[in-house]
Structure 1
């Protein structure tokens, strides 16, 4: 009897497990209809770049092709040169790149990555039905890595653009592209995170996924389960050169904002605030009196910038901008970049232990978007960003003046052992009143000679030798 009951129990368990497996399988999405409907609007992009390469012999005379390919190959293999007396004429080589894109309008507008077509002399767009067109470059935006193309055709299949703002981690997404030249390859995965900020791309809050993305997928669409494009596949994180489970897509909201400007002007204009910022970690939040780490800490205000004109100061923490909460410093450039020159916005800042509103009138950003050259040189030379000492920190340390090390960038600061949060009160025998005095004194320090620097760390003052190598 016991043996019979045991067999019955095992049978029941087997049935339950089988049912659970079928139920689980039933919950997994079927992408076949989505792929069938969306693929016609996905395109393959190849480019040609003409490179002139004129070779000459040691006496400066142009060279002619050898008569014997075998002899030519012998000399190339063993001597790294052409046969004596043989001449090679100037050549034109073509480098082909491969990427993906997708059609956003029936009259032939195609969206892809800027890096797919960057520097190309000729751009080819091939459709799912093998029709091929020469594309005109309408405009590019290197800052978001987007490019808009136009082909001469009508009644083309198009994608439906979705709302990337509604994406949540864990949702299924699917990519269609041409990795390694394998046309219309489908890969799927989930959204790993949203709003990712990468160091080299301040204006894009990337969608992170685990969808397999490889060379050739760049510029291709990322679909949600409704068949809507929610992102443009752009980058991967890798240590091997291939896919490692971390890929990034440009949100459709960012892309379509760029497209509208590219259609009209062929370029993108962005507003400028004029601040250098950093994240607020737990220690900085405590030192400033914040309840928790949040916001963008202003480490420098550019001269004659909208920020300076509005009264922003080094040491202010921007908590929100134009009604958008700023949790991490990387969110601020994107929010500002969505504004236009002349827009008047309100920034909520944290200063001297309390919140206050500041109205800012934004201005146009320069074409190259670069910070002042002198400021860049000074940051590189010192290897650190400094700011005014917050009033509560100054009171706790019982000091007047000085500067706080807000970020160690490397270079001299790193070599001399400076740390984030250090308060510098004296340099080269001179008392430091604030950021302006510190930079003036630092500028006068000769290279390759140590000078004394007084630092307060953890509440205790000490002197360290500070040397700038050059």
Structure 2
């Protein structure tokens, strides 16, 4: 009996120690109750109404397009009752629900641009259930930031933090209206910073594992001090809902945009006038770099700032005013934050040598670079495994090219096929040598010795790009 009693006492002691350890661990976890009490009044629900063309294939109940896996901007987008019975092509009223937050006592509100895109009416609902009409001061699609204005005095505001001080692993929380459930709170940690997403080159996103769903768009992301450090904007999803990857616009970026929208109603950002692409391992070798780095200029727009400064296709931008361009997505951010009219110093890799160029940065134009197409002509063959055709002078002028031959056929398994060359591509240069005929292409190929990668410049679908060709050793 005494032995059983000793065992029971030991078991109870171990259980008490385990409970104590769990309690100590629980005490170390963050408590968001005070943060929510202080911040909730400054978080708002945003409802926008617009007329749209009815779509035949909606994505569930939220009106998005059915794409199995992608970065999704998320806001609840629904047809009001009685508006879903018309046929295709019928104009209907659609309501979108998102989130936002008040940044000034006189009623300026930040949210996402996609929440209020094409809205005919915007209504902001406060924490105390007041509903106020909002005026759109301005929106910037490139950063997905919009600034609204509601009428009021001494409105509850949120304290803004410094997103540059964020560190991976620290706790953050979000307040928003997922699926229309106002002022829902979720929490997690910062998973990564300075994350680049497709088609969003101007935003160094904050990645978190905070649960974000449709309706959270435009809502604030808080640090443990209750300061706003980001605007929740996108998720990566296969289902349309939360899967553990959420992305927020840093508040420093958002406030810079908001200040410009408030002052001018538009955003001005630096512009070079170049088309860039990433530098792969093979391209790095072909251009004489020790490893993949920088932004490879595939095309320079005529009369653009880059052209006036002497930049050329094939240049690799390694730094801007001393700031390293570690990957191609870094360049638009560095140039975009430069005031138009200012000078920047670029370090370039050109033909295996490092040089510097000073460029007077321009203002981002409203129109994109023109698209063009080419026509087929006569054939010629090269050992690359392609059949090419020359281009007339008029065709080259139309495409704004000084040289080039059109690829008509690509042999399966050939060097060109392995590099991704396609029929319809225009070969502009090889190994930084202009190509104006099939004969010239063959001559350049014949002079390339050894198993080394060389850069091939193509013109495809109105844009220039580089690919790396590895020709292998010459055969006797």
TM-score by length of 2: 0.72
Partner SS for 1:237: strand
CA contact under 8 A between 2:196 and 2:329: conserved in structure 1? yes
C-alpha distance in 2, partners of 1:20/1:108? 47
Q: Deviations over 1:202-226 (max 9, x none)?
A: 2111111111111110011011111
C-alpha distance 431-218 of structure 1, shift in aligned 2 (>3 A) = same
- Within a 5 Å distance, the mapping from 1:83-122 to structure 2 comes to 93-122=92-121
Structure having the higher Rg: 1
| Local SS of the residue matching 1:262 | helix
User: In 2, distance between residues paired with 1:202 and 1:420?
Assistant: 25
Query: What pairs up with 1:51-450 in 2 under 5 angstroms?
Result: 93-368=92-367, 370-374=368-372, 377=373, 418-420=417-419, 429-432=438-441
- 8 Å CA contact 2:124–2:133 kept in 1: the answer is yes
Answer yes or no: is the 8 Å Cα contact 2:318–2:348 preserved in 1.
yes
Give the 5 Å matches for 1:24-39: 24-39=25-40
Whether the 8 Å CA contact 1:47–1:123 is kept in 2: the answer is yes
Specify the alignment match of 2:382 in structure 1: none
Moved more, 270-279 or 102-111: 270-279
Moved more, 296-305 or 107-116: 296-305
CA drift at 1:239:
0.8
- Structure 1 residue ranges without an equivalent (≥5): 54-75, 82-90, 379-410, 444-454, 463-470
* Runs of 4+ deviating beyond 6 Å: 1-9, 411-416, 425-428, 437-440
Q: Relative to structure 2, which stretch is displaced further, 98-107 or 337-346?
A: 337-346
Contact 2:419 2:469 in 1 (8 A): no
Aligned residues: 382
- Asked which structure has the greater RCO (Cα within 8 Å, sep 6+), the reply is 2
Question: In the TM superposition, what is the alpha-carbon distance from 1:320 to its structure 2 partner?
Answer: 1.4
Measured in 1, the distance between the counterparts of 2:132 and 2:247 equals 29
1:457 aligns with 2:470: yes
The offset of 1:438, in angstroms, is: 7.7
Q: Give the alignment's TM-score, normalised by structure 1.
A: 0.73
Question: Does the residue aligned with 2:331 lie in a helix, a strand or coil?
Answer: helix
Asked if 2 retains the 8 angstrom alpha-carbon contact of 1:284 and 1:421, the reply is: no
Q: Which moved more, 1:106-115 or 1:346-355?
A: 346-355
- Counterpart CA distance in 2 for 1:316 and 1:5 is 79
C-alpha deviation, 1:134, in angstroms = 0.5
Q: Could you tell me how far apart the structure 1 residues matched to 2:355 and 2:210 are?
A: 43
1:429 shift after superposition: 3.1
Give 1:163 shift: 0.9
- Residue 235 (structure 1) shift: 0.8
Offset of 1:356 from its aligned partner?
2.9
> Quick one: structure 1 residues 16 and 357, their matched pair in 2 at CA, closer, same or farther if it must change by over 3 Å?
farther
Q: CA deviation at 1:48?
A: 1.8
8 A contact 1:301–1:313 mirrored in 2: yes
Which residue of structure 1 lines up, in the alignment, with residue 424 of structure 2? none
| SS state at 1:23 partner | helix
Conservation of the 8 A alpha-carbon contact between 1:421 and 1:457: no
Contact 2:98-2:218 within 8 A present in 1 as well? yes
What is the Cα deviation at residue 299 of structure 1?
2.1
Could you say if the C-alpha distance between residues 287 and 24 of structure 1 is closer, same or farther in structure 2, counting changes exceeding 3 Å?
farther
Cα RMSD after superposing both structures? 3.5
CA-to-aligned-CA distance 1:162-203 (integer Å, 9 cap, x gap): 111111111111110001100000011111111111111121
CA distance in 2, matches of 1:128, 1:352: 61
Secondary structure, counterpart of 1:418 in structure 2: helix
Corresponding position of 1:44? 45
Q: Contact 2:272–2:361 (CA<8 Å) still a contact in 1?
A: yes
SS in 1 for 2:157: coil
Judging by fraction of residues, say which structure has more helix: 1
Q: Which of 128-137 and 425-434 deviates more?
A: 425-434
C-alpha distance in 2 between matches for 1:310 and 1:122: 46
Moved more, 133-142 or 426-435: 426-435
> Following the alignment from structure 2 to structure 1, what is the Cα–Cα distance between the partners of residues 272 and 228?
31
Cα distance change of structure 1 residues 323 and 459 upon mapping to structure 2, 3 Å threshold: same
State the shift of 1:280 in Å: 2.1
In 1, Cα distance between equivalents of 2:469 and 2:348: 27
**Does the CA contact (< 8 Å) of 2:40 and 2:183 recur in 1?**
yes
CA distance in 2, matches of 1:230, 1:3: 58
> Which residues of structure 2 form unaligned runs of 5+?
55-83, 375-407, 422-428, 445-453, 463-467
